Amino acid sequence: MNTLPDLSQLTHEQLLEFTRQLALQHQSLAQSNQELEKSNQQLDAKVQHLEVSNQQLDAKVQHLSILNQKYEHELALFKKHKFGSKNEHLTAKQIHLWDEAVEEDIAAVDLELERLNADKTDAAT
């Protein structure tokens, strides 16, 4: 930092020039301060926007997680029925039709789980 000159040693013209330089520095600092405050306000607005976006993404991730759990549970029930003991009061044709329906449902749930997991991965990045 510059050291201040001994003001008692300066001529009237030098004092006037020194005063003008100080005024210019003051004006420059005031302008810089205003620009910094404006930048700070813009950054605050961006932070608020990002916080809202983050909350929305968190809500979406939570929703997808709940759907994922729901479909995993449904899939487990279908698999339990398919691979569990067969209900003896159903005819062979009924069991075959039920198994086909369960296999279709399992495939549909598997596809939905893959899509949800892909969405969840995309939302995290």
pLDDT at position 86: 55
| Higher per-residue confidence, 77 vs 45 | 45
How high does pLDDT run on average in the chain?
Answer: 86
102, 82 contact by CB (below 8 A): yes
Q: Give the pLDDT of residue 71.
A: 84
For the chain, percent of residues with pLDDT exceeding 90: 43
Q: What is the pLDDT of residue 88?
A: 53
Q: What is the percentage of the chain residues whose pLDDT exceeds 70?
A: 90
The C-alpha atoms of residue 84 and residue 93 are separated, in whole angstroms, by: 18
User: Considering the entire predicted model, what is its pTM?
Assistant: 0.50
Half-sphere exposure for 69 (CA within 13 Å, toward CB): 5
In this structure, what token pair is assigned to residue 94? Answer: 């009924």
User: What is the residue type of 106?
Assistant: I
- Is pLDDT above 90 for 64? no
pLDDT (average), residues 92-100 = 82
Q: Specify the pLDDT at position 26.
A: 96
Question: For position 29, what pLDDT does the model report?
Answer: 97
Tokens, residue 5: 């000159």
